[in-house]
Amino acid sequence: MKIGIDFDNTMVAYDRLFHVCALELGLIDDTVEANKTAVRDAIRHRLGNHQWIELQGLVYGPRMLQAPPTPGIETFLARCADAGIAVAVISRKTLYAEAGPRFNLHDAARDWLSRFGAPRYGLRVFLEISLDGKLARIAEEGCTHFVDDLEEIFKAPAFPPQVRKILYAPSASRAGNAEVCLRRNKDEVAVCRNWDEVAAVTLDAP
C-alpha cells in the first residue's frame, strides 16, 4: 500500500484563515460565514474575481503558516508511519500567485510542511505546476490510494485507473452529498467526511 494525499484543503484547513484575512482587508463583513466557499462567493459578488485571486495569493503565500492541518490528519499519518506505509503528498500548485505580490507558493507550502512535521511522518513531497504533472506523479509514485478534496481530479482521463479514489469531503452527509457524489461518478469513489473514514477504507480495510 502507498497512499497519495493532496495538499490544499485536504491536508491544510483554510476556512478560518480566508475569513480572517478577508475581514482584515475589508473585503467582507462579519455576516459572511467563516468558510472558504462563502468568502469566495461574497468577494466575487461584491468585488470581482481578481480580488479573490489576490486573496488566494496572500493566504497560500505570506500567511500560509497560520493555516492549521485538517482535523485528524496527524493521527492518520502517525498510524501510517507506525505501520510502515509510505505516504506521498502530491499537489498541483502554481509557482507564483496569479495576482498581487510575487511570492513563491511552493516555498510557502514546503515551509508549512516542515513546520507541520513532514520529516517525522516520512512524507515524500511533490508540488506539480499542472494537472498532467500531478496525475503523472501519482502513477510514477505507484500510489494504491489517492485522497483529494476535488472530485474533478478523479474524473480526469489520465487519472491512473488502478488507484483507489478517495474523496475527502467534510461537508458530505450519509443521506445527501455522499450518495450524490457516488452516483455522479462512473467509477467507485469512497466519499469520506473525516480522516477516521479515510483510515477505514485504507488502513483498516480488509
Q: Which residue has the higher pLDDT, 187 or 181?
A: 187
Q: In the predicted model, what is the mean pLDDT of residues 78-103?
A: 93
Q: Band of the pLDDT at 180, cuts 50, 70, 90?
A: very low
Residue 53 has pLDDT above 80, yes or no: yes
Per-residue model confidence (pLDDT) at position 175: 44
pLDDT in tens, 112-159: 999 998 889 999 999 999 999 999 999 999 999 999 999 999 999 999
Cell for 169? 469531503
Q: Using CA atoms, how far apart are residues 17 and 21, in angstroms rounded to an integer?
A: 6
Q: Which residue has the cell 484563515?
A: 17
Q: In the predicted model, what is the mean pLDDT of residues 65-86?
A: 97
Residue 182 has pLDDT above 90, yes or no: no
Cell for 79? 498510524
Taking domain 2-13+68-201, whether its CATH number is 3.40.140.10 is answered by: no
Cβ neighbours, 10 Å, residue 24: 10
Close Cβ partners of 105 (under 8 Å, ≥ 6 residues apart): 57, 60, 61, 93, 94, 95, 96, 97
Average pLDDT for the chain: 91
pLDDT in tens, 114-126: 999 888 999 999 9
> What's the alpha-carbon Rg for the chain, to the nearest Å?
17
Q: In the predicted model, what is the mean pLDDT of residues 93-106?
A: 90
| Alpha helices (H) in the chain, listed in sequence order | 15-24, 36-47, 49-60, 73-83, 105-116, 118-121, 131-140, 151-155, 177-184, 195-201
Q: In the predicted model, what is the mean pLDDT of residues 15-41?
A: 96
* Beta pairing class for 124-128 and 190-192: unpaired
